[in-house]
Structure 1
Amino acid sequence: MGQGENATTPVAGAYRFSVAPMMDCTDRHFRVLMRQISRRALLYTEMVVAQALHHGRRDTLLDFDPQEHPLALQLGGDDPALLAESAQLAAAWGYDEINLNVGCPSPKVQQGRFGACLMADPDQVARCVEAMASAAPLPVTVKHRIGIDDQDSYELLLAFVDTVAGAGASRFSVHARKAWLHGLDPKQNRTIPPLRHDLVHQLKRDRPQLTVEINGGLLNLETCQEHLTQVDGVMVGRAAYEHPLRWATVDQELFGCHGRPLASASAVVRGLIPHASRWCGAGGRLWPIARHLVHLVEGVPGARHWRRRLGERAGERSAGPEVLEAAALELEQRGL
């Protein structure tokens, strides 16, 4: 996608179901894969650091396939001026939303003084949000935790949200775990701190005028539907990446979209072929696309052999879309 190309799909209400931004997972290729499964879900980029966007190759960091809409750009940073510049670039590139990362607890991110550690400074987060909202006509949203370290009371969470909402944040995507900034690595921070979905539900009850989306521990559609009786949206992370076809009925069940066949494994692979043709035609390798397919087939006889054959073929330097064509045909022959 080139700079200045506009969004083609309305984004209103897409946050009802979204796929969380995940480093090394939600790149442009996985997003195209996920778009074969849901046309309506809101997708996010991996976190893009505002300073890297200022100094680095913007096409590499920002380009995407138009079919990825609705699409939000997640930004990391704590400098209002750099974030304002990034917001302007997001609008120029045709993104639908901008999201500020206030939830990542990794030591590297903390060294840059952004991510979850910013929850200790809600006024700075508010300055960042205000700068982005003033710089571009896109919704500015915030993804954050329920707290950090021992600063984990509901009163502090509410004060954080009130401060940032006053600066112009249009939605709060709340990971229902606090983050330990010291002593736990990012993976442990996704599992060890206990889930407190009740606090996110309470936030929506106490601030009904705000749009609140819940994240953390959402493993299936039934659980998502239960939470949607309490909050405005659900955000699914690892369960979407590791079990993509688990979410094949999202558009029908959560968005009321009927009449389109449910995605199958073979249909997803076939849906990726035009994207692979463009990518490989521009000099890209097939493996960055194919690597996301390892979770597509699970729990069926022969799945391990299919994945091994795909990996061997897609890993060759000369591999192209014909590898996906053969993989899709094999799945079709097995009724998958």
Structure 2
Amino acid sequence: MDLKHRRPSLALAGGALTACALALAAPCVALPDPGRAATGTDTHTRCISTPAEYLMAWEKRQVRCVSPALFGTTHTRGSTSLYPSGFWYAWAGSNTNLERYLALRRAYGHQPAKVGIGILSYVGFPGLDTFDTPTDLAVYTLPEGVQARVPSFETWFRLLDEEFGDTGAYPLRAQTDLVVAYSRLGPHRDVVDAFQSVTGCKRTALLQGREPSAAIGCNASFLGALRAAGPSPYTTGESKKCFANFASRYRGPRNAAALRAVLFQCQDAGFLNTGVGLGYNTYANPFVCEPAYRQSVRQKYTGREFIVPNSTLDRLPSHVDIGLDLGRPSERRFLRTGYC
């Protein structure tokens, strides 16, 4: 790691940068201390507790701690719900993710594409080399009594049992095989490798943006389950109908590949999904000052993620929308060369 090439704006990160300089054997994480205010001097500033306060900190390029009562979800600009209306659950970033976003804004406010694309990368978006859909970040609180859940594979199957009863659609043996495939990764294998080992879909093709098909090696169980589940909620489908379709229509072996397919199709658990409640991406982590190819698999895990019941924005107790500047695709070399 070459500390001489660190951007001057990151030198304002205070203790975090000092710790990096003293620990040369460790990767340098360019994150200001979330307990500090924008001046870098007030370590006693109370945590942000409302979406309006978060927006104010964003606009002032402050870095502050954020209450666990706040969540963040990216959505297409102009949409009226957290996720498209057919989804049962929406994916939500934690308060620690929101703190990271403030750190990106503080460090790279003069390079807005690094902020907007950096947030989408941290969330776990694939295909960011060409992504150009106008996108906002919704920061919000949940209605009283509504809980966020950790989206582990076990959580999904528990939710399905609670909603539909024990239909036999998701055998415990297949659940176990799926979890084991994701929990026995070596130090140089990641969740995309796990997805390939379960579904057969080739890693290289997935990262190139190709859709699942036999042409990229996806196995019969995975493809059969996709067909049985029907359309995704991203198009004309609905999550609950999608799960019900799989339960009643799928005639193939109910194995790990079939279960992985139904989560993929019905609830947006894509090939970058970890199944443990942490984000992941193959692009360079914005907070590790190395190019993507030099970052370890462990360094490419990002923040905590949750699922919350999908909702229209006007039914949330409070929320703000923050427009993300994605810049132009030609400005995104940092996805591979690193941010700092």
Higher-RCO chain (CA-CA 8 Å, sequence separation at least 6): 2
Structure in which a larger fraction of residues adopt helix: 1
Q: Taking structure 2 as the reference length, what is the TM-score of the superposition?
A: 0.25
**TM-score, scaled to structure 1:** 0.26
